[in-house]
Amino acid sequence: MIEKKNKIYLVKIMNETMKRKMVSEVRKINHTFSTVEELVAFVVKAERCSFEIKVISNQLVIDGKSLMGVMIIGIGIQVEIICYNETFSPEQLVDYAA
């Protein structure tokens, strides 16, 4: 019973955190990683950011700073990259030409 209460409490905390993030402006793009090197370069750049970055593929939400997590999604699959920062452009993480 204690384990179930802890899970419910954790879900409530996560819901509150998501509500706060939804209030602040986010910037997002769709992108498809074409090589392992591009994927690794993305994670290295994401790790340097002080704000949260998420990579979403279908219903899978991955921390953009996790190399193992992003590699689970793989190459050749379109993802949505979300930066929880009003001023940072997610295009900077994937080296889009201006």
- Per-residue pLDDT, 48: 92
Residue 60 phi, psi dihedral angles, 5° rounding: -90, 120
Structural domains of the chain ordered from first start? 25-94 (3.30.1340.10)
Contacts of 26 (CB under 8 A, 6+ apart): 82, 83, 84, 85
Highest-scoring range by mean pLDDT, 14-18, 67-71, 87-91:
67-71
Distances in whole angstroms, Cα of residue 92 to Cα of each of 9, 24, 27, 29? 36, 20, 12, 11
Distances in whole angstroms, Cα of residue 58 to Cα of each of 54, 55, 62, 79? 13, 10, 11, 8
Structure tokens at 90: 């997610």
Residue 27: pLDDT above 70?
A: yes
- Per-residue pLDDT, 14: 57
For 29-79, write each residue's pLDDT tens digit.
Answer: 999 999 999 999 999 999 999 999 999 998 899 999 999 999 998 899 999
pTM above 0.75, yes or no: no
User: How does strand 78-83 pair with strand 27-32?
Assistant: antiparallel
Helix ranges, 1-98 (H): 2-23, 36-47, 67-73, 91-94
